[in-house]
Chain A
Amino acid sequence: QKEVEQDPGPLSVPEGAIVSLNCTYSNSAFQYFMWYRQYSRKGPELLMYTYSSGNKEDGRFTAQVDKSSKYISLFIRDSQPSDSATYLCAMSARADNNNDMRFGAGTRLTVKP
Chain B
Amino acid sequence: NAGVMQNPRHLVRRRGQEARLRCSPMKGHSHVYWYRQLPEEGLKFMVYLQKENIIDESGMPKERFSAEFPKEGPSILRIQQVVRGDSAAYFCASSPSRGEAFFGQGTRLTVV
Contacts and interface: CB of A to CB of B under 8 A. Distances in A.
Nearest to A98: B101
A60 interface: no
Interface in B89-106: 91, 93, 95, 97-106
Interface stretch (B36-44, B63-71, B72-80): B36-44
Contacts of B4: 43
B112 interface: no
Contacts of B101: 98
Interface in A76-113: 88, 90, 95-106
B40 A96 contact: no
Given A98-B48, A99-B33, A88 B103 contact: no
Contacts of A43: 4, 91, 93, 103-106
Nearest to A97: B98
A97 B41 CA distance: 21
Contacts of B91: 43-44
A45 interface: yes
B105 A42 contact: yes
A96 B100 CA distance: 7
Contacts of B93: 43, 98
B95 A98 contact: yes
A50 interface: no
Closest 3 CB pairs of A and B: A103-B42, A43-B103, A96-B98
Interface of B: 4, 31, 33, 40-45, 48, 55-56, 58-59, 91, 93, 95, 97-106
